[in-house]
């Protein structure tokens, strides 16, 4: 009789252990930040040919960028299986005493608070040089690439009238959803 009781207790204990391990929370994806130049960032985009890609250019010193950024995270949560979201921080200003790595903690802290679990890049080319290279007056800017890997639309405020700046809700999300519906 004691063997049966012991066996029952042992089976019950082992089942409890099994249930605990099955109900343990799955760790959430972590937030990462890679330091890259613009060409390397474009190569990351190119790796996702066949999917729609949304690349947000932003900076922690740009208030409109930080206001809109959570909408990129939401877009990723809603459509992450159908599209690729990425961010490229333009925080590096080219100051010799402040290399790109010195911005890493500040940028990573913001990304972590936003739960930006997609690909994040801190650009290592100074922002003014980058803006000239890609013919952009200022950030925020969002590049949407079609499944063919080419820019389907670039959202920026270069030609916008005052008070008519682009937003994710008004402009980007409907455009992206239109591409996804094709």
Domain locations in the chain as residue ranges: 28-181
Neighbours of 21 (CB within 10 A): 8
pLDDT, tens digit, for every residue of 107-158? 999 999 999 999 999 999 999 999 999 999 999 999 999 999 999 999 997 7
Alpha carbon distance 125, 94 (integer Å):
7
Contacts of 175 (CB under 8 A, 6+ apart): 144, 152, 153, 155
Q: Mean pLDDT score of the chain, rounded to an integer?
A: 86
pLDDT, tens digit, for every residue of 38-62? 999 999 999 999 999 999 999 999 9
Which residue would you say has higher pLDDT here, 144 or 164?
144
Question: Rounded mean pLDDT of 92-104?
Answer: 93
CA angle 6, 11, 13 (to 5 degrees): 95
Helix axes 104-114, 63-79, angle to 10 degrees: 50
Q: Residue written as tokens 């760790």?
A: 27
Distance of CA 58 to the CA centre of its chain: 11
The answer, yes or no, to whether residue 23 has pLDDT greater than 80, is no
Closest CA to 70 of 107, 134, 19, 116: 116
| CATH tag for 28-181 (out of 3.50.50.60, 3.30.2320.20, 3.40.30.10, 3.30.450.370) | 3.40.30.10
Cβ pair 46, 151 in contact under 8 A:
no
Q: Residue written as tokens 């995270």?
A: 73
Cβ pair 107, 91 in contact under 8 A:
yes
Contacts of 31 (CB under 8 A, 6+ apart): 108, 111, 112, 115, 116, 117, 120
Dihedral sign from CA coordinates of 121, 122, 128, 133:
negative
């Amino acid at each position: 009789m004691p063997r049966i009781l012991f066996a029952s207790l042992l089976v019950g204990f082992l089942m409890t252990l099994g249930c605990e391990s099955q109900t343990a929370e799955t760790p959430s994806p972590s937030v990462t930040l890679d330091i890259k130049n613009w060409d390397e960032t474009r190569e990351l985009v190119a790796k996702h040919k066949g999917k729609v890609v949304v690349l947000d250019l932003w900076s922690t010193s740009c208030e409109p960028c930080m206001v809109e950024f959570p909408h990129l995270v939401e877009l990723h949560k809603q459509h992450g299986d159908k599209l690729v979201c990425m961010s490229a921080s333009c925080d590096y200003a080219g100051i010799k005493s402040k290399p790109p790595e010195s911005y890493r903690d500040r940028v990573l802290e913001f990304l972590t608070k936003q739960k930006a679990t997609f690909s994040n890049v801190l650009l290592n080319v100074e922002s003014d040089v980058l803006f000239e290279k890609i013919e952009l007056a200022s950030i925020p800017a969002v590049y949407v690439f079609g499944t063919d890997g080419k820019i389907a639309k670039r959202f920026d405020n270069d030609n916008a009238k005052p008070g008519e700046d682009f937003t994710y809700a008004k402009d980007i999300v409907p455009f992206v959803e239109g591409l996804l519906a094709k």
